[in-house]
Amino acid sequence: MTNNEIVKMIKRHEGGPHDVYLDSVGIPTLGWGHALHPGSFVPQEVSEIFFSMDFETAVDDAEFIIGKYDIEIDDIRKWVLINMAFQLGRSRLMAFKKMLAALIIKDYDEAAAQILDSKAAQQCQNRYKELAKIMKTGLA
């Protein structure tokens, strides 16, 4: 058997390249049998690919929310929503009902207050203090 034939067989046994799945003993695994153990090394190039994909999703999520609620917002404050969408995801960002209501009427002080009055802000204090300040002032 050649290396190429072995590679094909392993890939066939391991499954598809596009899913994270639990292997036969419950270990999260990516692609063709790459186990995801805490503390495992991930090459910078791989991290950059995942970041780019996640960033594009966050931009799409923020733009979806802005469109859904017909929010008129400048780019700097939009960046705040993108940052929050990156960490929280679309559904959890949409749960910030009072913040979104404040953004609809351009009450940036209240929007900033709602950012700080959240579980996310308790968990990631520095991040959300910075985001609230940007939301309030419109300055990055």
Query: What pTM does this model have?
Result: 0.86
Residues 25 and 50 in one domain: no
Residues 64, 103 within the same domain? yes
pLDDT band at 103 (very low <50, low <70, confident <90, very high): very high
Please name the residues in contact with 100: beta carbons below 8 A apart, sequence gap of 6 or more. Answer: 65, 69, 71, 94
Average pLDDT of the residues of the chain: 94
Residues 57 and 105 reside in one and the same domain: yes
- Determine the structural domain holding residue 19 and report its residue range: 3-35
pLDDT of residue 108: 99
